[in-house]
Structure 1
Amino acid sequence: MKNIIFGLLLLAVTTGYSQYSAKGIVIDANTEQPVIGAAIQLQKPERSTITSLSGEFTLNNLTAGNYSLVISSLGYGTQTYQFELPGAGELKIKLFPTAIEMEEIIVSTPFHQLQSENVMKVERITRESLERSGTSSLTEGISEIAGVETITTGTSIGKPVIRGLSSNRVLVYAQGVRLENQQFGDEHGLGLSSSGIESVEVIKGPASLLYGSDALGGVLYLNPERFAPQGETEFDAETAYYSNTEGFEANAGVKTSAEKFNFLVRGNLATHSDYETGDGRRVTNTRFTGYDLKGGVGYRDENYKGDLRYNINSSTAGIPEEIGIQSTSKSKMLPYQKVDNHILSLDNSFYFDESSLDVKIGYLFNNRKEFEDAHHEEHGHEEDHEHEEHEEHEEHEGHAEGEPALEMHLETLNYDVKYHFPAHGKFETIVGVQGMFQSNENMAEEILIPDARTTDAGVLATTHYHLEKLDFQAGLRYDFRKISSEAYENHDTETEVPALEREFNSYNGAFGVKMDITSNFTSRLNLATGFRAPNLAELTSYGSHHGTNRFEIGNSDLENEQNYQIDLALEFRNQHFEVSANGFYNAINNYIFLNPTGEFIDENSVFEYLQHDAKLYGGEVGLHIHPHPLDWLHLESNYELVIGEQDNGDYLPLIPAQSIQNTIWAEIADGKTFKDAYVSLSLKSVFDQNRTGLFETETAGYSLLNTGIGTSIALNSVELQVKLAGTNLLDKTYISHLSRLKPDGIPNMGRNISLGVGFQF
């Protein structure tokens, strides 16, 4: 009896921990010939491999349960494949030839699906596309996406604009965690480098269900570069020169992967002089220098995946005020800002039999300093009683040379926990909690926003239902935010700003459906709500500083912004062309905006924060022609339109002008020496913007001609890469409606030619 019981226990234990293998073959659906080198990605737990010369693959050490594969290969349509262990047998996967580019998994949505399977429309641009554009910053590159533009202060400072919304209305994610870097200010850039970023995903529209407050306008999701394939070590380095700013950039990285551990490190250095406009004048103090360092350690086994990453980005950027001194110097010039941005993130995934748990933790430290001319109060030899009374005030007003006039330390700890329930039939369900703890501390005399504490907490649930031609997705969420700020004094006006303690909460939801009307025609309809709690600047501001040219007065009684958006997307694609149309209507209650009062303080115009209901509407239309059999030739056209209005009929400020971009590019077939060669020519035409806010002026339209050419050269085990790009080739003198230098009549950058050379082995 003892032996029988022991045998049964041993059988139960070995059965519970049995290891299985998934074996299969990938073939061409038309010829049934094996597809060699196809990428096989197992979703959970995350694994990857490639097919052999016979088209076969094997994934070992799997437990019983349901699994999902993503299979991709150049020249074929990417597919997902579901199977169950045990009992799956040998997997036989057919790929269909197509001229459409390989699809990648969309990370910014909760179920990590291919875009063709996603209920929500998500735009994606790769690092290679960013590099081909020849731009000198990440924010310039993402403006290539239809519906995405950039508010700029020269070439060094840029903020993303998604369908007319920006700053705290657009949430940025880096390394899988929420980026917090004093983004309330128009003159505050991202504090990130495109170095080490593999791709950028953009959710256009309210995403508060997934991300909470501040995702009212959309999400910019930056995916970090992947680790090297298992058992491989990779090293790459490149350098680039930019003619307009006489700028220089260098970048190098190394990464290696063993069976379970992965490592990578990457460094970047960039320095630029003042940029030159189309009429040959340099814009004084638009120079900037920055360095970026990224590192990562990963670990994976059958039940766990961990990814620890760290990024330090430090930039010193001039704050331009005029076209004055003409110089190509790269040395610091007053006034300027120095920003250090630290991001430490830990991404954990725990895999159970049929479910999983994702835990993301991030710590961010943002140190923002602004330097300006030192203030020194001068008095005669006779000190009168009035001078004595103001002696203490003058001590506060001044700051020593070399010391920052403004210094803010922002510390943020955020968390994101999601549990993926076991799939029940065609249902997938996720529940989660998100939140952050944040503190702001002033270290210098000038104060933009007070010392404060912010606490966020949110609870969400979302589910996805899949049918053969229909997909449904829905969810609900509740958020709570508490803001506590300390009292402070504006020494210039001797005004006391009282302490503040406010609580905000909001319920939000989303519902979407994707329908495959035919095998080539897909429609998506999404309805979503979003919210944004007012930020510290809007609640507590009282003062001005370099870069704003205005005196801002906050409003402690502001309420949540709450929006409701409907979005309809239609897409048709076949082997010859793709056409898409995406329209939206976004109604925002309690929209917060700056309003001029007509008064002046310290020689600056006074603006106060007010609220009114508003609406934004418009959309994007795209066409991509890749005629078969000329699959190497691509013609693309994208049109975008956004209109923003208050309910009283006044237009909203900082709304991008409508534009159309036409691009023709060709992929040259690989040879023995040259591969991945391309050549492109694009023309972006921006229309007149005459729908302007109260303190804006109309902006004339313009057209910019850009080009790019590049190739890789195989030299034994080394791959040499050469890239040449040109922006504004006709040296057009123009002013963007979203340029913060527009009120001073300062044009944007003229012609810029960039040459990049790199190698990889």
Structure 2
Amino acid sequence: MKYFIITLFLGFSAMLQAQNTLSGIVTDKNNQPIKGVSVYASELHKGTATDENGKYTFTNLPNGNLKLTFTFVGFGTQNKTINSLQKENTLDVILEETIFQMDEVIVSTAFNKIQSQNVMKVEHESIKELQRKGTATLIEGLATIPGVSQVSTGTSIGKPVIRGLSGNRVLVYSQGVRMENQQFGDEHGLGLNDSGIESVEVIKGPASLLYGSDALGGVLYFNPEKFADANTFKANFNQKLFSNTLGSNSSLGLKTSTDNWKFLARGSYNTHSDYKIANGDRVTNTRYNETDFKTGIGYSNAKFSSVLRYNYNKLDLGIPEEGIADQTTSKETGYPRQGVFNHLLSLNNVFFFEKSKLDVDLGYIANDRSEFVDSNVAGLHMKLKTFNYDAKYHLPKIGKVESIFGIQGMHQTNTNSGEEYLIPDATTNDFGVFGTANYEWGSNVLQGGLRFDNRQITTQEHGTAGEEGYFKAVDKSFDSFNASLGYKTNLAEDLTLRLNVASGFRAPNLAELTSNGVHEGTNRYERGNSDLKTEQNVQTDVNLEYKNSHFEFFANGFYNHINNYIYTSPTGEMIDENAVFDYIQNNAKLYGGEIGLHFHPHPLDWLHFETSFETVTGKKQNGDFLPLIPANNWNNTIRTEFKIKNWLEDGFATLNFSSTFNQNNVSGFETKSNEYILVNLGFGGKVKFGKTAFDINLNGNNLLDKSYIAHLSRLKNDGIPNIGRNIVFGVNFNL
């Protein structure tokens, strides 16, 4: 905590006001002012809106460069950069009507470029758009993004999969810091609630240059809810109801800002009964309850910006072990169950200098995880405490070259207080140093970087040698050098090509190094291997993208070679009627990609057709298939947009067909999966009654009540289908 206080003090002591101001007028192509345009300076966490004359104003702006984003429904986003701010600055903007998605600023990459200027192809989705699909959880929504899927246990536990890699191979960032919540476990979910999250960015491929270990397969980067515009107060309430689980999700948020100070708070509660399959039966003990609270306070002036955020998340999860047994609509979890408490505290600071800046992110995460087998006495109780630091110095621009030098690190402790140990008490220390540069000329961008990392893992001996639950002491050090190189160019006016080659790494986790016992939920005896080596990969990506006013097309291809891929393999032995699995290593390769198009025919401005196909194949060096590889999927959506007189604006209706193919490429202990097609409907918009306005959405997911079993469902081996028909109704009030 002392690091937070020192950094906060240093930041607030640097408040010499430069008093730079910026103003301008936003109009359409007919020179008519547009009221209500959102103007946002992301680095300052500062926003405003245009008045009835289309005018906006910012004060107390820093020296140097300033990036602004102008957004308004029905118009294309404008991203502007003002170089070398003066005392008084003027910027007028003309917005043009558009029917395609906005060109978003990408926060998860090094230089925060808009997507059209970015060397890497990054998927950006707003949480609002994901929620419009009627999904019950955050991870369900993420699984609708091409190249992303989930390993699920019922509806309560979901783990993200990016192009066939999951668990510790996918790094999750929230509030600018890496999430650490024992993600190695098969039944350890994401631990994030979608309330209070603005959007998500998905990096598909190794991102170790920026994020270090565990970003071998990709990164999920969650952008938190924005603060209110300057000198405004906003209150928001939303409610969602779910027919299948008799579920409810309620959220209330408050936020206010002055020119310099800003504050927000949001609380939510999520509760669900056991989910129902197509024949009407409920899957016993898949119920769960979730409480989530997020708050933040920020300050910015001409020299400095600081944002302190806190997230508390409490999960009460049932663990399904009996399959379809007792039928109840109770929301009180039975045994076995999990209790998870997660505290996330983050501090983001940006120091502005004349021609450079320094970003400093500090994070503290306390994850408290318990498992209760048959009573309220926890058999398993793990406490994981993690302190993260990340400092990036953006050097002064030299000609057309931008460069960043950074250091990152982590100090982590795991302690056990229950009788059962999954992993031993341990300490992990990370340190990394990196440099990256971006060179842009015309429509071409070249970006590259180098990085070195060290991870030190020390564990304590526990138990009696030769018996189950014995953990020998381990003291290991893992080093890795990584590099990336990317190139982006416009082959034609509307045609973009991106080529990227990057390496990544992942140090073995505690479970892989030390396991010695029955892993609950897997019904197998797992033995770790303290001699495991670091996983190291090289991935090649190609992205081709065409976009004009009525047609979008993209094609992504990748080849990923991984040395020393870690996985469990059956030995043929049995211990106490449990099959024994050892952690071993083999070289592996994954390849595949995504392809899709979005067609908006003229003059049918209200009609959209979107289609995408995704595929991935994973093999070991000996030709055997890797486990947990998602089946191929073909997704088709017809969407209409409309307005009904003066009472429904921003209306939409969607018809979606999601076709999942047979998965016959399975590892030795997996079972094959059959194909299935799900039909989903959606309807919604902004309803207006006089001065009262609110958003609604009504979704019918798996509308035909199809009985199916997803390949990555952990209930598949028991023959338990996924969720049946689910009608979701949501309403959102801005109070």
- Scaled by the length of structure 1, what TM-score is found? 0.91
- 1:557 pairs with 2:531: yes
Is the contact between residue 127 and residue 199 of structure 2 (CA under 8 Å) also seen in structure 1? yes
Output the CA distance in 2 between the equivalents of 1:490 and 1:323.
39
**Which residue of the partner structure matches residue 706 of structure 2?**
732
**Which residue of the partner structure matches residue 269 of structure 1?**
269
Is the contact between residue 458 and residue 475 of structure 2 (CA under 8 Å) also seen in structure 1? yes
The CA deviation string for residues 6-39 of structure 1, in whole angstroms up to 9 with x for no partner, is: xxxxxxxxxx9864444444444x5455555443
Q: After TM superposition, give the deviation of residue 43 of structure 1 in Å.
A: 5.5
- 1:200 pairs with 2:200: yes
Q: After TM superposition, give the deviation of residue 180 of structure 1 in Å.
A: 0.1
- 1:678 pairs with 2:677: no
- 1:618 pairs with 2:584: no
Structure 1: 5+ residue runs without aligned partners?
Answer: 1-15, 374-400
**Which residue of the partner structure matches residue 453 of structure 2?**
479
What SS does the corresponding residue of 1:128 show, helix, strand or coil?
helix
The CA deviation string for residues 305-360 of structure 1, in whole angstroms up to 9 with x for no partner, is: 11111111111111112221122122221111111111011111111112111111
Output the CA distance in 2 between the equivalents of 1:273 and 1:221.
30
User: 1:179-328 alignment to 2 at 5 Å?
Assistant: 179-321=179-321, 322-328=323-329
Output the CA distance in 2 between the equivalents of 1:26 and 1:228.
20
| Letter matched to residue 41 of structure 1 | Y
Output the CA distance in 1 between the equivalents of 2:43 and 2:240.
39
- 1:693 pairs with 2:692: no
Provide closer, same or farther for how the CA distance between residues 725 and 116 of structure 1 changes in structure 2, counting only shifts above 3 A. same
Provide closer, same or farther for how the CA distance between residues 193 and 298 of structure 1 changes in structure 2, counting only shifts above 3 A. same
Provide closer, same or farther for how the CA distance between residues 32 and 513 of structure 1 changes in structure 2, counting only shifts above 3 A. farther
Q: Percent identity?
A: 52
Output the CA distance in 1 between the equivalents of 2:324 and 2:704.
22
**Which residue of the partner structure matches residue 70 of structure 1?**
69
Is the contact between residue 447 and residue 490 of structure 1 (CA under 8 Å) also seen in structure 2? no
Output the CA distance in 1 between the equivalents of 2:45 and 2:588.
44
Q: After TM superposition, give the deviation of residue 82 of structure 1 in Å.
A: 3.6
**Which residue of the partner structure matches residue 492 of structure 2?**
518
Is the contact between residue 212 and residue 531 of structure 1 (CA under 8 Å) also seen in structure 2? yes
What SS does the corresponding residue of 1:596 show, helix, strand or coil?
strand
Output the CA distance in 2 between the equivalents of 1:23 and 1:193.
37
Alignment match of 1:412 (pick from 375, 386, 389): 386
Output the CA distance in 2 between the equivalents of 1:241 and 1:47.
33
Worse overlay, 533-542 or 264-273? 264-273
Q: After TM superposition, give the deviation of residue 95 of structure 1 in Å.
A: 4.0
Is the contact between residue 677 and residue 712 of structure 1 (CA under 8 Å) also seen in structure 2? yes
Provide closer, same or farther for how the CA distance between residues 86 and 678 of structure 1 changes in structure 2, counting only shifts above 3 A. same
- 1:352 pairs with 2:326: no
Output the CA distance in 2 between the equivalents of 1:41 and 1:487.
53
**Which residue of the partner structure matches residue 363 of structure 2?**
362
| Letter matched to residue 299 of structure 1 | Y
Output the CA distance in 1 between the equivalents of 2:326 and 2:40.
56
What SS does the corresponding residue of 1:140 show, helix, strand or coil?
helix
Output the CA distance in 2 between the equivalents of 1:257 and 1:59.
13
Is the contact between residue 365 and residue 409 of structure 1 (CA under 8 Å) also seen in structure 2? yes
Q: Work out the number of aligned pairs and report it.
A: 718
Is the contact between residue 73 and residue 102 of structure 1 (CA under 8 Å) also seen in structure 2? no
User: 1:89-100 alignment to 2 at 5 Å?
Assistant: 90-100=90-100
The CA deviation string for residues 358-390 of structure 1, in whole angstroms up to 9 with x for no partner, is: 1111110111101113xxxxxxxxxxxxxxxxx
User: 1:4-153 alignment to 2 at 5 Å?
Assistant: 19-28=19-28, 31-42=30-41, 45=44, 47-62=46-61, 65-83=64-82, 84-86=84-86, 90-153=90-153
Q: After TM superposition, give the deviation of residue 191 of structure 1 in Å.
A: 1.0
What SS does the corresponding residue of 2:116 show, helix, strand or coil?
helix
**Which residue of the partner structure matches residue 723 of structure 2?**
749
Worse overlay, 251-260 or 180-189? 251-260
What SS does the corresponding residue of 2:165 show, helix, strand or coil?
coil
| Letter matched to residue 715 of structure 2 | L
Structure 2: 5+ residue runs without aligned partners?
Answer: 1-15
Provide closer, same or farther for how the CA distance between residues 538 and 701 of structure 1 changes in structure 2, counting only shifts above 3 A. same
The CA deviation string for residues 411-459 of structure 1, in whole angstroms up to 9 with x for no partner, is: 0000111111122221111111111100000010100000000000100
Provide closer, same or farther for how the CA distance between residues 697 and 46 of structure 1 changes in structure 2, counting only shifts above 3 A. closer
Output the CA distance in 2 between the equivalents of 1:113 and 1:648.
41
What SS does the corresponding residue of 1:78 show, helix, strand or coil?
strand
What SS does the corresponding residue of 1:488 show, helix, strand or coil?
coil
The CA deviation string for residues 510-542 of structure 1, in whole angstroms up to 9 with x for no partner, is: 111110112211111111000000000000000
The RMSD of aligned alpha carbons is 2.0
- 1:338 pairs with 2:312: no
**Which residue of the partner structure matches residue 734 of structure 2?**
760
Output the CA distance in 1 between the equivalents of 2:58 and 2:468.
70
Provide closer, same or farther for how the CA distance between residues 314 and 23 of structure 1 changes in structure 2, counting only shifts above 3 A. closer
**Highest Rg: 1 or 2?**
1
Output the CA distance in 1 between the equivalents of 2:639 and 2:464.
56
| Letter matched to residue 294 of structure 2 | K
Q: After TM superposition, give the deviation of residue 603 of structure 1 in Å.
A: 1.8
**Which residue of the partner structure matches residue 471 of structure 2?**
497
- 1:530 pairs with 2:504: yes
Is the contact between residue 21 and residue 87 of structure 2 (CA under 8 Å) also seen in structure 1? no
- 1:431 pairs with 2:400: no
Q: After TM superposition, give the deviation of residue 98 of structure 1 in Å.
A: 2.7
Q: After TM superposition, give the deviation of residue 246 of structure 1 in Å.
A: 1.3
Output the CA distance in 2 between the equivalents of 1:153 and 1:45.
40
**Which residue of the partner structure matches residue 462 of structure 2?**
488
Provide closer, same or farther for how the CA distance between residues 35 and 717 of structure 1 changes in structure 2, counting only shifts above 3 A. closer
Output the CA distance in 1 between the equivalents of 2:650 and 2:616.
36
Is the contact between residue 22 and residue 57 of structure 2 (CA under 8 Å) also seen in structure 1? yes
The CA deviation string for residues 658-711 of structure 1, in whole angstroms up to 9 with x for no partner, is: 010001112223743322221111010000000001101110010111111112
Output the CA distance in 2 between the equivalents of 1:166 and 1:423.
38
Provide closer, same or farther for how the CA distance between residues 664 and 246 of structure 1 changes in structure 2, counting only shifts above 3 A. same
**Which residue of the partner structure matches residue 687 of structure 2?**
713
Output the CA distance in 2 between the equivalents of 1:204 and 1:329.
39
Provide closer, same or farther for how the CA distance between residues 103 and 652 of structure 1 changes in structure 2, counting only shifts above 3 A. same
Is the contact between residue 21 and residue 89 of structure 2 (CA under 8 Å) also seen in structure 1? no
Alignment match of 1:508 (pick from 474, 478, 482): 482
Q: After TM superposition, give the deviation of residue 303 of structure 1 in Å.
A: 1.4
Is the contact between residue 205 and residue 216 of structure 2 (CA under 8 Å) also seen in structure 1? yes
Provide closer, same or farther for how the CA distance between residues 585 and 560 of structure 1 changes in structure 2, counting only shifts above 3 A. same
Provide closer, same or farther for how the CA distance between residues 101 and 620 of structure 1 changes in structure 2, counting only shifts above 3 A. same
Provide closer, same or farther for how the CA distance between residues 189 and 17 of structure 1 changes in structure 2, counting only shifts above 3 A. closer
Output the CA distance in 1 between the equivalents of 2:583 and 2:131.
39
Output the CA distance in 1 between the equivalents of 2:385 and 2:120.
32
Q: After TM superposition, give the deviation of residue 60 of structure 1 in Å.
A: 3.6
Worse overlay, 730-739 or 264-273? 264-273
- 1:582 pairs with 2:556: yes
Worse overlay, 31-40 or 246-255? 31-40
User: 1:380-399 alignment to 2 at 5 Å?
Assistant: none
Provide closer, same or farther for how the CA distance between residues 624 and 56 of structure 1 changes in structure 2, counting only shifts above 3 A. same
| Letter matched to residue 363 of structure 1 | Y
The CA deviation string for residues 529-565 of structure 1, in whole angstroms up to 9 with x for no partner, is: 0000000000000011431211110000000000000
Is the contact between residue 490 and residue 542 of structure 1 (CA under 8 Å) also seen in structure 2? no
Is the contact between residue 200 and residue 223 of structure 2 (CA under 8 Å) also seen in structure 1? yes
| Letter matched to residue 150 of structure 1 | Q
What SS does the corresponding residue of 2:667 show, helix, strand or coil?
coil
What SS does the corresponding residue of 1:709 show, helix, strand or coil?
strand
Output the CA distance in 1 between the equivalents of 2:695 and 2:465.
56
Q: After TM superposition, give the deviation of residue 80 of structure 1 in Å.
A: 3.1
Is the contact between residue 62 and residue 352 of structure 2 (CA under 8 Å) also seen in structure 1? no
Output the CA distance in 2 between the equivalents of 1:138 and 1:735.
20
What SS does the corresponding residue of 2:164 show, helix, strand or coil?
coil
Output the CA distance in 2 between the equivalents of 1:44 and 1:249.
32
| Letter matched to residue 747 of structure 1 | P
Q: After TM superposition, give the deviation of residue 741 of structure 1 in Å.
A: 0.7
Provide closer, same or farther for how the CA distance between residues 205 and 23 of structure 1 changes in structure 2, counting only shifts above 3 A. same
Output the CA distance in 2 between the equivalents of 1:266 and 1:23.
32
Is the contact between residue 256 and residue 262 of structure 2 (CA under 8 Å) also seen in structure 1? yes
